[in-house]
Structure 1
Amino acid sequence: MGEPGENLSAGEPRGAVVIITNRRGELLLHLRDDIDGIAWPGHWSLLGGGCDPGENPTDAIVRELHEEAGLTVHNPAKLFETKDVHGSGQLITFFATTWDGDETRLPLAEGVKLQFFAPEHLAHLTIPPYIRQGILRFLSSPPVQ
């Protein structure tokens, strides 16, 4: 299970996303489906999703990575939380981890594609504002690995 003391309050919807970097410093982004009824359709985002009832963000991100892309991670670094005010309305916990595989070989279960991008190319992508802000915050002060 996740960290002791994590807030499992049923009152506020929660979610989790992960910033995945490779040894070249590129970030793995997920192109979301362009369909009605989802938050941020057609945007480049981070892998992640909503917490199931009673699930903490750490367990949610481990589950979501496995379900969405077949990735298994252990102990992703918890970074910070922010609210997706203009999309899902969830309180989102950001995590970070590293992975050096070939993203084109991952079994993507939802969305259009996964792709690594160098940080200097992010300005040209359509990214939800809270995700862009979280990535910039991460890039300005990445966790010690």
Structure 2
Amino acid sequence: MTERIVVVGAALLDGDRLLAARRSAPPELAGRWELPGGKVEPGERPEDALVRELREELGVEAEVVERVPGSWPLRAPYELRVWTARLRPGSAGPEPLQDHDELRWLAPAEIWSVPWLEQDVPAVRQVLARLATGPRA
């Protein structure tokens, strides 16, 4: 069996708002929305990869808060794992620097107003359920 390669996704939160990022590439994903993130490099901790990916893709300094339970298969051999995260004090606001052409902060009532990538939907549902139960420190 091929070893899974972890792809980290960030449920970047601002209060109860979740950041959604619209893909600009590759063509088959363009126009769909996702949680920002990317592949974990060999020898890298997933949490460190998440911070690095947010810096590269959005130009922000973020801190990981907690793992969202579950993992979701992507095309083999990739597997999505999601963490909640927040901007560090003094961080610049997110900008679509790489792989995305638009960002939106979505309140819970707006979460389903964008067409999410299918593989992100279960993770987004988990994050929405966590928001409904209240914030965690």
Q: Output the TM-score relative to the length of structure 2.
A: 0.78
Residue in 1 that maps onto 2:42: 53
Residue in 2 that maps onto 1:82: 71
CA contact (8 A) 1:21 1:28 kept: yes
User: Which consecutive residues of structure 2, in runs of 5 or more, have no partner in the other structure?
Assistant: none
CA distance in 1 between partners of 2:116 and 2:77 (Å): 16
CA contact (8 A) 1:35 1:42 kept: no
The residue identity in structure 2 corresponding to 1:123 is W
What is the alpha-carbon root mean square deviation over aligned residues?
Answer: 2.6
The total of aligned residue pairs comes to: 131
CA distance in 1 between partners of 2:43 and 2:60 (Å): 23
Secondary structure, aligned partner of 2:38: strand
The residue identity in structure 2 corresponding to 1:32 is R
User: Which consecutive residues of structure 1, in runs of 5 or more, have no partner in the other structure?
Assistant: 1-9
Residue 61 of structure 2 is aligned to residue 72 of structure 1: yes
Residue in 2 that maps onto 1:32: 23
CA distance in 2 between partners of 1:88 and 1:73 (Å): 29
Match of 1:91 among 68, 72, 79: 79
The residue identity in structure 2 corresponding to 1:94 is V
The residue identity in structure 1 corresponding to 2:95 is L
